[in-house]
Amino acid sequence: MKKENIFFLGVFCLAFLILPVSSFAQSCPNITTVKGTSVTFVGELTDAGGDAVNYVWFEYGKSGAFNQKTIEKSLTQEGVYCITVDNLEPCTTYSYRAGARNSAGTSYGETKTFNTTCGVEVSLKANGFDGQTTVPYSSSVTLSWNSSNANSCTASGDWSGSKNLSGSELISSLVSPKNFTITCTGSAGSASDSVYVSVGTQSASATITVNKRVRNVSDGTDYSESVYADPGEMISFSIEIIAGNQALDNLIVKDALPDKLTYRQNSLKIDNVLVSGDIFSGLSIGSLSANQKKTITFEADLAGSDKFDFGETSLINSVLVYSGQVSNSDTAKVIVNKKAVAGATTIKTGLTNNLFLDSFLIPFLIAVFLVWIFKARIIKWEEWLDEKKRDYEKYKSEKNLNLRIKKIRMKEL
C-alpha cells in the first residue's frame, strides 16, 4: 500500500472513533468530552505511514467554520492522544475535525459537532414578584427560586446556607426591610438574583384577608390550597378578598403566574362577572366597605409534557392585594406530575448504535477482510490440511504394520 494511502487511513480513524480507546492514553477520556465551556478532543493515529514523526491537531469553530486550531502534537508512534481547549462560549454548537501531517502531506478527518454547556441561570422571587415587593408589618414573605444548569445554590444577605436547586421558603415576622440573594454555581460558571422586601406600617384598625385557592378544572376538583395536575390540563385560580372592620379604598390586585402556566384569555371574573384588565400588572377592584368580600377567578393552561421533567414539579402562584392603607398576600400550589412512559428506554442496538454501521458496513468490512486473508494466503489453510492428512496417513500405516507384526508372532507361537 502506498504511504499516502496508509497516512489517510490513519487520519480517517482519528476522527471516526467507533471502538473504545486503547491503553496508549490512559489519561485521555474514551471519547471527545465537554465539561462546561471546555472540551477535550480525543483522537487515534492508527497508521504512521512509515514516518518517524507525525503531527496532529484539531480545527474547530462555530456555524460549521474551522477558524480556530489547537496546538499541534508530535507523535512518534501510533496511538490515542487528546488535546484540551478552555474558555469556549457557553450554550454554543461547535464543529470540529481532526488534522494530521507527515511527509505524505496533510489530511483531515470527518466533521463532527459538540455543544458547550449553557450558562447558569437563577430566578428569585418574593411572594411571586421580582425585584421589590412590600409586605405588612410583622407579616411573612414566601421566597421561591428556580435555577438551570447549576450544581449548587447558596443564600446570602438576610438569609444564609445551602439551598436546593429550586424550592421555596417562608420568612416570618418581618419588621424591617430585608434583602435576599441566592447564587447558583455550575460547570459553566455562576449566577445570582436578589429581591428586596420592604415592610409597611399598618393601621391597627385597617385589615384585609386574602385567600388564594386553586382547582383542577380538567379533573373537576374543588378549590383548595394545592392541587395535583397532569401536563396540558386546565387550572382555575380563586382569590378571596375580605375587608376588616374598616373600609378600604383603591385596592389593587397583582397576581404572579409561574412559568409553564399560561393565562386563558377572557376568563377573568370578579364575583362571577367577566371583567377586562390585567391582573398580572395590577388590577384595580375599587373599594371595599367594612367586612365586604370580593372573589376574583381566572383560568390558566398547563404547558405540555415536553416542558416538564419526569416526576413532580411544584408551581407556586402568588397574589398581592394592597392599597395605601393595607397589604396582604397568599399563595396556591399546582403540583404537576409527569409520568415516565412504560418501556421507554435507551438501549444500544450494536457496536456503534448506528443501524447502517452495525447491520451492513461493519459486517461487510469483516467479510471483505476474511476473503482478503484467504486469497492472500496469509493463513496457509490448504498446506495445513495437507500436512494433517499426511500425519494421519502415517499414523494409519504404522497402526496396520503393528497389527500385522502382532499376527505373525501369534502364528509362531
* Alpha carbons 171 and 124: distance in angstroms, whole number: 14
Phi, psi of 309 (to 5 degrees): -80, 160
- Distances in whole angstroms, Cα of residue 75 to Cα of each of 8, 33, 45, 111: 16, 21, 8, 22
Question: Measured in whole angstroms, how far is the alpha carbon of residue 90 from the centre of its chain?
Answer: 14
pLDDT at 350: 54
Report the C-alpha gap between 122 and 153 in whole angstroms. 9
User: What's residue 347's pLDDT?
Assistant: 45
Cα separation, 209 vs 249, in Å, equals: 15
Block means of pLDDT (10 residues each) for the chain, length 413 residues? 39 37 60 91 88 94 91 92 92 93 90 91 93 86 93 96 95 90 90 92 75 95 95 96 88 92 95 94 91 95 91 92 86 90 48 65 78 65 72 76 73 60
Give the bridge partners for 57, in sequence order.
99
- Tell the residue number behind the cell numbers 465551556, with chain if given: 37
Give 4's contacts (C-beta < 8 A, 6+ positions apart): 49, 104, 105
Instruction: Name the E strands within 219-271.
Output: 226-229, 234-243, 248-256, 261-263, 269-270
pLDDT for 234? 96
Q: What is the pTM of this model?
A: 0.44
Give the Cα separation of 30 and 82 in Å (integer). Answer: 10
Separation between Cα atoms, residue 151 and residue 23, nearest integer Å:
32
Could you give the CA distance from residue 398 to residue 394 in angstroms, rounded to a whole number? 6
The pLDDT value given to residue 343: 45
Q: Which long-range contacts (CB under 8 A, 24 or more apart) does 158-162 make?
A: none
The total of other beta-carbon atoms located within 10 Å of residue 384's CB is 10
Task: Give the pLDDT score at 396.
Answer: 74
Residues in the chain: 413
Start-end of H helices in 68-172: none
Grid cell digits, residue 119: 450558562
How far apart (Å, rounded) are the C-alpha atoms in residues 204 and 310? Answer: 48
pLDDT score recorded for residue 141: 93
The pLDDT score that the predictor gives to residue 189 is 85
- The residues pairing with 185 across neighbouring beta strands, listed in sequence order, are 152, 190
Q: What phi-psi label fits residue 138: left (phi over 0), alpha (psi between -120 and 50 degrees) or beta? A: left
